[in-house]
A and B are shown apart, each in its own frame.
Chain A
Amino acid sequence: MPHDHADDAPPHSLLPPDPELRVKALETLLTRKGLIDPAALDEIIETYAHKVGPRNGAAVVARAWIDPDFRKRLLKDATAAVAEMGFTGRQGEHVVAVENTPEQHNMVVCTLCSCYPWPLLGIPPGWYKSDAYRARAVREPRKVLADFGLTLPEGQRVRVWDSTAEVRYLVLPMRPVGTEGLDESALAALVSRDAMIGTALAEAPT
């Protein structure tokens, strides 16, 4: 009988998949060598799973929309400008903000791997890390944008920025019409993660 195998052997713990066992091997070895500290790993995970995310970037965009001087500083030296708001840290050492205009829409990719401005957007979504996006964003950006449901006017050119370990890009979307009366936090709520990667626009207020 196929279900009788457990009679003589009690069920053991579920065997994790191969890569998980390899992660455990790495962690064990590096901990024994004193090269990593498991508590520090937990802190890193907590930070990126729960604390750092696209709300940071959205706050930056909203500030740029209402404060022309900040916008100028952001476009001149984004790393320094976002540091004013307290957004610093790993993978945010050299951030460049690229501004959408009626003439030019910007979108960001990392063709090498998945470079991304962590302090502003958190950890990238699966599609940003997929071969399909990484290969197609440069080759056929308008088709990729169409897959995201975004069709741009023909007269607006698309510029694709390739992030690297040295330079990470943040798209500054255009401020939607009809948002004149909104305050900074209401404006930030209109700015999605995808709008700051350039695969969406800032949403119109509802």
Chain B
Amino acid sequence: MTEPVFEAPWHAQAFALAVSLEAGGAFTWPEWTQTFGAVLAQHGLSKELDGGDDYFVAWVAALERICTEKGIAGAEDLRALRAAWEDAYTATPHGESVRIG
């Protein structure tokens, strides 16, 4: 019985981002759990979270919230970069590595 620790690579990436930011002093772990717990509670209002994909969707939303609240990432900047990544995926032929400028 060996379930993968992370079901999708982006789950692992999101996990590592929070761990790395805490290690670098961007926020403390109690601050993180407060923010993440609040997001989980909000997301849990509309449906029962199963602890899989939806857990990491909440994790990403909590990362965005704590980074913008701490002033280390602007919400506008994040939206623009997300759009840039989407454009890059759409414009890059299948099989080539996707990059943004």
Interface residues of A (CB under 8 A from B): 10-17, 19-30, 33, 35-37, 40-42, 44-45, 48-49, 53, 90-91, 112-115, 122-123, 125-133, 164-166
Min CB distance A23 to B, Å, is: 5
The answer to whether A30 and B5 touch across the interface, beta carbons within 8 angstroms, is no
With A11-B93, A23-B17: A126-B60 Cβ-Cβ less than 8 Å: no
Contact partners of B33 in chain A: CB under 8 A: 112-113, 115, 164-165
| Distance of B89 from chain A, by nearest CB (Å) | 5
Q: Knowing A13-B94, A26-B78, A35-B26 are in contact, say whether A130-B50 is a contact too (CB < 8 A).
A: yes
Among all A-B residue pairs, the 5 with the closest Cβ atoms = A130-B51, A129-B51, A25-B81, A112-B37, A20-B10
Q: Tally A-B pairs: CB < 8 A.
A: 164
Q: With an 8 A cutoff between CB atoms, is B13 at the interface?
A: yes
The smallest beta-carbon distance between A52 and chain B, in angstroms, is 9
Give the nearest-CB partner of B56 in chain A.
A19
Given contacts A11-B94, A113-B40, contact A26 B17 (CB under 8 A): yes
Evaluate contact between A12 and B15: CB separation under 8 angstroms. Answer: no
Q: Give the distance to chain B from A111, nearest Cβ to Cβ, in Å.
A: 9
B20 adjacent to A126 (CB under 8 Å): no
Pairwise interchain contact B48-A36, C-beta atoms closer than 8 A: no
A56 to chain B, nearest CB (A): 14
- Given A25-B78, A49-B12, answer yes or no on A130-B5 (Cβ-Cβ < 8 Å): no
For B84, list chain A residues within 8 Å (CB): 25
Question: B67 touching A26 by the CB < 8 A rule?
Answer: yes
Q: Is the CB of A12 within 8 A of B30?
A: no
Taking CB atoms and an 8 Å cut-off, the chain B residues in 54-101 that contact chain A are 55-57, 60, 63-64, 67, 72-73, 77-79, 81-82, 84-86, 89-96, 98, 100
Interface centre among A11, A13, A27 (most CB of B within 10 A): A13
Residue from the set B15, B34, B57, B96 with the largest chain A CB neighbour count within 10 Å: B15
Chain A residue with the shortest CB-CB distance to B74: A29
| CB-based contact A26/B63 at 8 Å | yes
Say yes or no: A113 contacts B37, CB within 8 Å. yes
**Is the Cβ of A45 less than 8 Å from the Cβ of B50?**
no
